[in-house]
Structure 1
Amino acid sequence: MNFLAGIAVVGVMLSAVDADSIGHDKVQPFAQPESVTFSEKAAVQFKPSLVVYSGCHPYPAVNAAGETSGGLKPSGSSSGQCEKPELGSQIYGRAGWYSNMWAIMYAWYFPKDDPPMSSGHRHDWENIVVWIDNPEANPPMLKAVSAWINEESRYDQHHASARAYNNARKYSNGSSPNIRYRSLSWFRYTRVDMSVQDDDAEFQDLIMWEQLTNEARSALESTDFGDAKVPFNDANYQSLLDKAWPY
């Protein structure tokens, strides 16, 4: 009797978890709020653009009510069912001081990572860190960009002083780095590559960590996205900045 009651309780708990997860194409993104603080203005100024070479396009991960994306099973084509977010896309941000630099982490969510000729997984998070001198400077100066290399669990650093990176073609509007997203496979070697490049790309509405609703922040702290970890939540933010530090 107690065993059956235990099963019933577990069933209710699992149903409650499932109720917080909705279809990947049903998640309403946050509209980009008007920037008020120096931090918010700098985050918008340096917001990166993204071009998708292969794989899913970025989708919202959570809505205002705290409902999260259920993602997609890694099957079919690498961009199957995730090529066009009908409700709009999203880029997430979180910023603060790290040592003597201002770090702005930007993150995208993808419903699946499904590279050709290789096994993938449901859910994918990718991120970059933009390093500037001071958000209150007039104007703030870009110092470096650290782009996450998922397969290698490390960041690829690009310094603004480097000749190749300092080329004006590397920016979409003089301050925003262009980023490329690729889901590739060579001889069963799978790699998601985000690196600075000079192709045309798109912008998504930016929502900063502190601009999210309490429900959305709580969901991003507690939701299990499998192998994909939310880079800007409390559990991962600081340790990833440690890895991203370019100096």
Structure 2
Amino acid sequence: MRSFKNRQQLTHFSALQHQNEPPTCSAVIKTIDHDQVQTFSQPEPASNSEKTAVKFKPLLHISDGCHPANGDCNYPDVGGQVYSRSNWYKDKWAIVYARYFPKGAEFVLNHVKGHRHIWSHAIVWTDSPNPDASAILGVSLSIPTGYEKEVPPKAKYIEGEETVKLDSYVDYWVGNQSLSFTRKWGKTKREQLTDEARDSLGMFDFQPESSQVNVAMPLKNGVFLSNLRETYPKTEGLDT
């Protein structure tokens, strides 16, 4: 695998929405009950960047906590909700996969409780948006205390040199649902959003009043680039 350079510039996966550009149309936001959530059909990816987003989509295993589904924490009948956005950052093609959980687990003072809305995300760093000539350089995971970074990711966490295996669990040390790398085999499913649904996700305030967790949609304008800055793996010997 090629290194980074210091230059400027599962239960189920579903709703894999690839987005290079920010939303351009306004949206009237309407909410629905969690048991009314339905997946979107997935058109065939057309551009190289869309194909690359599908190529490197991670697998998700759920070992603890809620499932990214329709609000029922266990064994969903429909797929979960995962969206992606990608762009160049310091000459690396970064793909952010954001996973939405209608309910999140929270551990406070020896009691397990929950709250509405939680987002977790993984960033797959590659050398090119060309699906036929690209490789994984590193992976960054959102965790309650910041980010976990692997450059390059260990072979035991990668299936077929292009699929990262992730685990969702409740981190009882910090009290929140979190992501980690895993050897376990998860599941993946992809769908795609309408423009109206995508724009609503960027405009809606997901912050629950009853939780101390900072909940922000990772792909929205003002958050996406900040996530790339924070998660870029400045690893000694690679970022030169």
- Same fold flag (TM > 0.5): yes
Name 1:76's counterpart in structure 2. Answer: none
Deviations 1:146-180 (A, max 9, x none): 0001x21x2111112xxxx332x322333110011
Question: Are 1:198 and 2:183 matched, yes or no?
Answer: yes
Task: Indicate the RMSD between aligned Cα atoms, in angstroms.
Answer: 2.0
Please tell me whether residue 128 in structure 1 is matched to residue 138 in structure 2: no
Residue 76 of structure 2: aligned partner: 85
Higher RCO, Cα 8 Å, sep 6+: 2
Alpha-carbon separation, structure 2, partners of 1:148 and 1:184: 12
Partner of 2:149: 157
Q: TM-score by structure 1 length?
A: 0.74
1:213 aligns with 2:189: no
Counterparts of 1:88 and 1:100 in 2: how far apart (Å)?
34
Runs of 5+ unmatched residues, structure 1: 1-16, 61-70, 72-80
AA partner of residue 130 (structure 2): E
Displacement after TM superposition at 1:119 (Å): 4.1
**Displacement after TM superposition at 1:118 (Å):** 3.8
Match of 1:27 in 2: 37
Give me the whole-angstrom Cα distance separating, in 2, the residues matched to 1:45 and 1:206: 14
Detail structure 1 runs of 4+ shifted over 3 Å in the superposition.
none
Paired AA for residue 140 in structure 1: S
Query: Which of 122, 144, 148 in structure 1 is aligned with 2:142?
Result: 148
Structure having the higher Rg: 1
Alignment match, 1:166: 154
More helix by share: 1
Partner Cα separation in structure 2 for residue 193 and residue 244 of structure 1: 16
Letter in 2 for 1:166: K
Distance in 2, matches of 1:137 and 1:185, equals 38
CA distance in 2, matches of 1:136, 1:52: 31
- Confirm whether residue 179 of structure 1 aligns to residue 160 of structure 2: no
Deviations 1:166-203 (A, max 9, x none): 32x322333110011112324xx413321222101011
- Separation in 2, partners of 1:102, 1:36: 18
Contact 2:106 2:115 in 1 (8 A): no
Question: What is the letter of the counterpart of residue 149 of structure 2?
Answer: Q
Instruction: Give 1:115 deviation, angstroms.
Output: 3.7
CA displacement at 1:100 relative to structure 2: 0.5
Distance 1:205 1:122, change over 3 A: same
Q: Which runs of 5+ in 2 are unaligned?
A: 1-27, 208-213, 235-240
Report the alpha carbon displacement of residue 51 of structure 1 after superposing the two structures with TM. 0.4
Q: What amino acid maps onto 1:155 in structure 2?
A: Y
Give the Cα–Cα distance (whole angstroms) in 2 for the partners of residues 124 and 202 of structure 1. 20
How many residues align structurally?
A: 198
The change in CA–CA distance for 1:111 and 1:137 in structure 2 (over 3 A counts) is: closer
